[in-house]
Chains A and B, each alone.
Chain A
Amino acid sequence: GENVEQHPSTLSVQEGDSAVIKCTYSDSASNYFPWYKQELGKGPQLIIDIRSNVGEKKDQRIAVTLNKTAKHFSLHITETQPEDSAVYFCAASWAGNMLTFGGGTRLMVKP
């Protein structure tokens, strides 16, 4: 089955700096890669996703890149703000099936 590795497990940045979280996946059949933000006591919130026919996608301060050959994808957050502090999860799936999640990254943005 699919296996998703996520790094780093914790990330501390200064407000205004950029943050990058990286994930690798094992199953070359995976074609959908979402990113979720989870705040304390809440369910995961979908923030951006990318499909395997696209190499990069951007939404305001958030961007995701995908390298299918190397089987890795990354989340980039620019101009970080304190409200970006949360746990971020990457995931992979094939054709709308179940998501396989990475282990999560705790992002702390220091004001």
Chain B
Amino acid sequence: GAGVSQSPSNKVTEKGKDVELRCDPISGHTALYWYRQSLGQGLEFLIYFQGNSAPDKSGLPSDRFSAERTGGSVSTLTIQRTQQEDSAVYLCASSRGQNEQYFGPGTRLTVT
């Protein structure tokens, strides 16, 4: 079946602009996670949605970062007023409840 998909695959933006990154989880998966992968910080957790519960936002690095999940499916990660240190690969994963997490291919964000 179809895996996790993310769009765009690459995004180049100017410092100070807002960006939106999209994630389509595997159909039927109730949990959705966003992670960030950068050279200096490795793979780090950002935010987690589980069903209709309030999201766990404990990994968001600043209030410029936000995410929503509409209808329990598609999720959008928004970064406002981008900074150069936001450059990274943003990865989305989904899982069926408390089971294995499956990752998408990621969005490579470059802030110039």
Contact = CB atoms under 8 A, between A and B. Distances in A.
Interface string A40-59: 01111110010000000000
Residue of A41, A44, A89 with most partner-chain B CB within 10 A: A44
Contacts of A97: 48, 56
Sorting the interface of chain B by its residue count into under 10, 10 to 19, 20 to 34 or 35 or more gives 20 to 34
A36 B99 CA distance: 14
A22 B48 CA distance: 27
Contacts, number: 51
A98 B98 contact: no
Interface string A70-91: 0000000000000000000101
28 contacts: A32-B98, A34-B100, A34-B101, A36-B103, A42-B106, A43-B4, A43-B91, A43-B103, A43-B105, A44-B43, A44-B91, A44-B103, A46-B100, A46-B103, A49-B100, A89-B43, A91-B43, A96-B31, A96-B50, A97-B48, A97-B56, A98-B33, A98-B59, A99-B35, A99-B101, A101-B44, A104-B42, A104-B43
Interface of A: 32, 34, 36, 41-46, 49, 89, 91, 95-104
